[in-house]
Chains A and B, each alone.
Chain A
């Protein structure tokens, strides 16, 4: 070290320490954390020249934010989006061998009989998308959407399949998409975490916290599940009897003692903790405001279908927009349960019920984002962990089993071509015959829209460089605007 001039040494040491600090507080990488150190550099400038290609974006992004509307359980594409006259004609017959050979199902036997649909479809919009009567509101947004009718996944049980689309692997323990984005891009919000999970429906999604886990990535990237009701984040409320002024004294003193200790020990990790406490204090102020929707116009509430004070998918759609406005990177809504094997309600009745919960708020969300000029920079994704079989499954009533070889999802905004019908399945909806989009392709494309190369967004763990798309995935350029 002796050969370098002292000012160079000091500068380098400073850079190393700053690096450490930035690394550990990307969750709050807004101006605040840096300002508290008296730094006027933008974060990327501070890092310039320090890293060859570590964090994204790798190239100019089209979207800043993702809203993933996760329809947990697997919606039936055949009742919602895919008219199949041949399937209706063959209804009641055993599926031709050519389709089922070598295939496995969760509950069905391969000789199950094909099930036609009772739904009546009509084409809507300029794109001529087929919709059944279950989604009347969606008719208004068909031309804002890119319809992915050739989806394909690898796993047919709920938990592993949800893991697959969230983390790229059916095994639990890998980082989920939101964590990868937080790791790759950091957060734009100084008051809120980068990855937030909202949930509605009768129960939680199967697999639970694993779906928003940061896996082997540092936990600051994990999804923060918001809770229903007025306390959206655990332990957000101060202890009983403590006002905000009281608590500001508390936080001020904690900060003071931490700063004394930082001077004493020289450990930059303490500065990270000081920043974390500042963000915590701000979250206490902003998070309740986030869920307080009094400022929304009655018309907005009506369009979403929000009933005041009642947790619902509609409320979560509205919250999603408010989170987008606050710069949250990845917002995931789970709505259960779409697993229609043929329960007490038959397929049509189950869908009527759940579509009534989902159709209107989803439409309102797309329209609201568009109206506010946010849709261009927000990538909205809708779909489940898989679709449903062309064959019927007889339980209490007739339903459909899990189908992984052809189903439908959609994307909107974020630089995706609107009003595009992409992908096609065969005449009974069994296999994709044109423009297949594998889950890994979907993931690669999503990352691409956020300015990340899925092959370069990697993290080394247990001796291997892991990525969201495992060793697969292609960006589907045909659907990009």
Chain B
């Protein structure tokens, strides 16, 4: 399968062939005699063998990934290459005998054979994989030069020295401030901030700026976006339906946590297991939204268990990527081919996330919380003043008996004389229920004629029943077993009998049964559907009370007409039964489940039945006081205004089984939640024995964990340089790249933990280093030796991320709305966008300041993201994104040049420049635009170009406003505008 590496590695390989190998692969040893390194020389060669002779497969019993097994069949005889089977096989003259087999198309080169031979002759030492070794705390090399600013720099400098390279000088103050402002807060410096910095002559003027930026509330916004990439955050469910979801309160939690510099171990604990922390706060539960950012399939006809497993797999893989920097997902179907992760390890990790439920939680701002508090006080007052508004005292035994007496005449099943439907065929069953089959179309109506055994008719009961012939057993004929009953009409001899009220024991939110007796044409009707795709699959009951009791004679025939909507089509009731009663209000006023309890038996009620009955009655009478009901409704609505998604623990735990070949239909052996075997030396967790998510979080952030801190600091480094010290930031496994600066990586990782996992301290350390402050100018000597700048002999010019491109343009043109947090917003976007999605998404373009909010707050529909985000490589919200692409396309050019948002910004910017001082010269105006854009004045050739443009604009007869808009557009379209230098 492995045939070639991505481009950079090719380039690297070629440079190696040109004779720079020593410098490239182990710069540290460049000046020492060549020594074969297992990690960088041998492992890549052996990995050609490992697929068939490794942890997952041992053809002919041979395994080559560790010294002990490799020695067994004399494949490797340490010290004696010529006696080693491995060498014999890879050099065999017989093509059938030679390894690797020709059909793999991956032969060893003579040089690789030679390397293997040398390694075996010199003892065939297998060194363990660096990333699984304990993190050390190396001291910086003892180099003192004027260039060095802090403990990072000696590491960088000593490597550069070994390569006979020099670091770059510090960038000029203007570039430096723009760089660090964009990196820390995602916003450019304001002109006032620039001036203050330029005029600050203190030796630590820069450090003061860094402190200011770290304290800015916009720091949390910028850093949160990086974390949202990892969390695959979006405001919709994904897959084909892609319905909206509310999880932005979690996004705000991240912003707040980062602004408060919550220690990374706590940040980890709250997000993985906040709900399990003893006496968890609302905030801690909210934090578990991290793993609710998975996509959710709402498509009809899917198997809910399949997609629950998919979400659990996603959580497992994301955890592996974000904290371990490992591709654990490879072990979903089989033992990992390269890394020591067995399939069993995978499902043990999976088990931590298999035992979660996925609740929606109510999250309110302090303001709304105060409002709710206020309303609750009002309700309490009301209840004090008017005891009737409160739940009544418990019913006495006498009262209960009265109910029981009343229930004597409770519902009896009505004998059906005729049942017809407009489209379906209806069949009367022996138990008098009616089953529908055949055509299942919109605009259906059923007419049922029945008699009553009573002398009076006071109410009709309609039971909706399940049946194996119905989709997901019904009770409806919709694909999920749902129905939608639009209208109910009762008549006798074509005389309409008005209905006074309708009650039901189950109602889908928004589809109450009361709708069925309204005359309004907008009525949506009654549904018992849970709203989830797994269907109701339970019977329901509705009771319709007649406005006037009817006298019934022996030959009275009533007609009940049930109407179903045109749309959704095919949502008629599949099986139902009609009952009648003559019971009076005392009984009918009881809630339906209470009616069921009281009619269930003639024997005295059990204590538990009695309690349930009392509870139900209380509930109902509370509802009866209109004022209290209004207040209670208001409180409930407010509490539900802001919701988010979180994790919780299910009432009954699920057993996790190894899924054979990763297929949820093939569960195998059961496993318990546990951490991977390769880290067994990190067990047991002293303070906890029960394997839950708390255990996992604490295990990940153990100080002796070899991966978490390294993976985290590497990603943080990447934020400030464009690439990490380990280039494969998402793969610290055996196939990943080796760190260019292993000692620096460890020094940072151990410092990070020693500093209490403080991200702000880490960021301070990085951005105040001389390494960070270097100029990003390309240098021929560096380009020749280190074209990818892996050794940081200069800074990198980095194209801004999608959201930062927008934020920077808003800030530069003076339109930026500072509000932090809150629901997502809808900045303008082309209407054509939704042509390509299944559903026409709501995009009600925001007005006022919400048009100018940071890109972080733009609503993200997974299937139709804002074109700014797709065009400029924003994270796709499908898998954890550890590093964004930085592409450079004509589509981006068109976007910046012509998108109405950017043109509008250019126009308003031009207006400001013209309003500034009517007598200002063109050059002065250009200077002010340049200062705002780039934090520097224009160079002469730049001024010349732009003066030429402005005069051509004028000669073309364009207004000053349009001419300056063009100038503004030009600046906004330069490479420099969207690049942090």
Interface residues of A (CB under 8 A from B): 1-2, 4, 9, 12-13, 16-17, 19-20, 23-25, 27-28, 50-54, 104-107, 157-159, 171-173, 193, 197, 199, 203-210, 213, 218-220, 222, 224-225, 227-229, 231, 233-239, 241-242, 245-246, 249-251, 253-254, 256-258, 260-262, 264-270, 272-273, 276-277, 279-280, 283-284, 343-344, 394-397, 455-456, 458-460, 462-465, 467, 471
Contact = CB atoms under 8 A, between A and B. Distances in A.
B11 A16 contact: yes
Contact of A266 (B777, B830, B834): B777
**A-B residue pairs, 3 tightest by C-beta:** A266-B778, A463-B731, A106-B301
A463 B733 contact: yes
Given A159-B297, A193-B891, 13 more contacts: A172-B238, A172-B878, A173-B878, A173-B879, A218-B885, A228-B835, A238-B897, A250-B949, A265-B981, A270-B975, A276-B889, A456-B105, A464-B735
A272 B570 contact: no
Nearest to B836: A204
Contacts of B878: 171-173, 210
A269 B4 contact: no
Interface stretch (B83-91, B181-189, B436-444, B541-549): B436-444
Contacts of B121: none
23 contacts: A17-B787, A51-B10, A53-B4, A107-B300, A159-B297, A173-B876, A204-B834, A207-B240, A209-B863, A234-B832, A236-B894, A249-B956, A253-B945, A254-B970, A254-B973, A257-B945, A265-B776, A273-B893, A280-B891, A394-B438, A459-B6, A460-B6, A465-B2
Nearest to B956: A246
Given A209-B864, A234-B867, A471-B1, A51 B14 contact: yes
B931 to A, nearest CB: 16
A158 B730 CA distance: 31
B836 A261 contact: no
B778 A238 contact: no
Residue picked from B18, B471, B897, most chain A C-beta under 10 Å: B897
Nearest to B783: A13
B441 A396 contact: yes
A23 B894 contact: no
Interface in B679-730: 728, 730
Nearest to B163: A1
Residue picked from B787, B887, B971, most chain A C-beta under 10 Å: B887
Given A269-B797, A396-B441, A283 B838 contact: no
Given A173-B878, A245-B956, A250-B970, A239 B440 contact: no
B918 interface: no
B625 interface: no
Contacts of B733: 463
A249 B891 contact: no
B780 interface: yes
A276 B893 contact: yes
Given A13-B784, A213-B876, A250-B966, A54 B7 contact: yes
Interface in B873-899: 873, 876, 878-879, 882, 885, 887-895, 897-899
Contacts of B471: 107
B962 A241 contact: yes
A271 B59 CA distance: 51
B835 A250 contact: no
Contacts of B949: 249-250, 253
Contacts of B301: 105-107, 157
Given A172-B238, A208-B864, A23 B777 contact: no
B836 A266 contact: no
Interface string B892-914: 11110111000100000000000
Contact of B164 (A2, A159, A269, A459): A2
B899 A157 contact: no
Contacts of A284: 894
Contacts of B6: 459-460
A20 B799 CA distance: 15
Contact of A456 (B3, B300, B882): B3
Contacts of B894: 233-236, 280, 283-284
A397 to B, nearest CB: 7
A204 B327 CA distance: 34
A58 B957 CA distance: 55
Interface string B274-304: 0000000000000000000001010111110
A204 B898 contact: no
Given A209-B836, A219-B887, A465-B2, A256 B945 contact: yes
B497 interface: no
Given A276-B889, A458-B3, A261 B975 contact: yes
B159 interface: no
Contacts of A105: 301
Nearest to B17: A52
A20 to B, nearest CB: 7
Given A13-B784, A458-B4, A463 B975 contact: no
Interface of B: 1-7, 9-11, 13-15, 18-20, 105, 164, 238-240, 242, 295, 297, 299-303, 321, 326-327, 329-330, 338, 438-442, 471, 479, 569-570, 665, 728, 730-731, 733, 735-736, 776-781, 783-785, 787, 797, 799, 830, 832-839, 863-865, 867, 870-871, 873, 876, 878-879, 882, 885, 887-895, 897-899, 903, 939, 941-942, 945-946, 948-949, 952-953, 956, 958, 962, 965-966, 969-971, 973-976, 981
B333 to A, nearest CB: 10
Nearest to A229: B832
A204 B837 contact: yes
Nearest to A254: B973
Residue picked from B439, B728, B833, B836, most chain A C-beta under 10 Å: B836
B975 A208 contact: no
B467 to A, nearest CB: 13
A206 B890 contact: no
Given A250-B897, A276-B889, A54 B731 contact: no
Contacts of B238: 172
Contacts of B105: 455-456
A219 B885 contact: yes
Contacts of B728: 463
Nearest to B238: A172
Contacts of A25: 888
Nearest to A277: B893
Residue picked from A106, A172, A462, most chain B C-beta under 10 Å: A462
A63 B769 CA distance: 54
Contacts of A210: 863, 878
A233 B892 CA distance: 12
Contacts of B730: 462-463
Given A235-B894, A269-B975, A464 B330 contact: yes
A261 B945 contact: no
B908 to A, nearest CB: 13
Contact of A283 (B321, B799, B890, B892): B890
A267 B787 contact: no
Contacts of B865: 209
Given A219-B887, A396-B442, A455-B3, A159 B240 contact: yes
B442 A344 contact: yes
Residue picked from A227, A257, A467, most chain B C-beta under 10 Å: A257
Contacts of B731: 462-463
A456 B240 contact: no
A444 B136 CA distance: 48
A277 B797 CA distance: 19
Nearest to A159: B240
Given A173-B879, A249-B949, A158 B836 contact: no
A396 B897 CA distance: 51
Contacts of B893: 273, 276-277, 279-280
Nearest to B972: A254
Contacts of B164: 1-2
A356 B882 CA distance: 48
A197 B867 CA distance: 16
